[in-house]
Amino acid sequence: MADTQISKIKRRLGISDETQDELLKDLIDDAQSHFMAITGAEEVLPKYNFIVNDVVVLRYNRRGSEGMESESVDGYSVKYETDDFKKYQWILDRDFGEQSSSREKGKVKII
């Protein structure tokens, strides 16, 4: 993983020291593994780093709220997307076709 990827993510998050670097590396590794599982790719090409970076920022900001779909505190409510890659599905479908779409709910036909 390139240091520039961590630097970009840190700039987006407003992090100026190295105290979160190990956490960010873990989040990058997990997001890349998730991407490869969805697409069937053996590696994440640099042209898809923006997707991984966006997912890392989402997951970093959601720390402590993992697994929640929504949260409400004193009239302030937040709804979390449960599929971090959902807004990129059209790109994944275009570039990886059937492999990336297979994660959608299937149909059963009883004969």
Quote the tokens at residue 94.
């275009």
Is the pTM here over 0.85, yes or no? no
Q: How far apart are CA 79 and CA 68, in angstroms?
A: 8
Q: Exposure string (b/e) for 67-81, b if CB count within 10 Å is 16 or more?
A: eeeeeeeeeeeeeee
Q: Residue 23: its pLDDT value, please?
A: 96
Residue 107 pLDDT greater than 60, yes or no: no
For the chain, percent of residues with pLDDT exceeding 90: 62
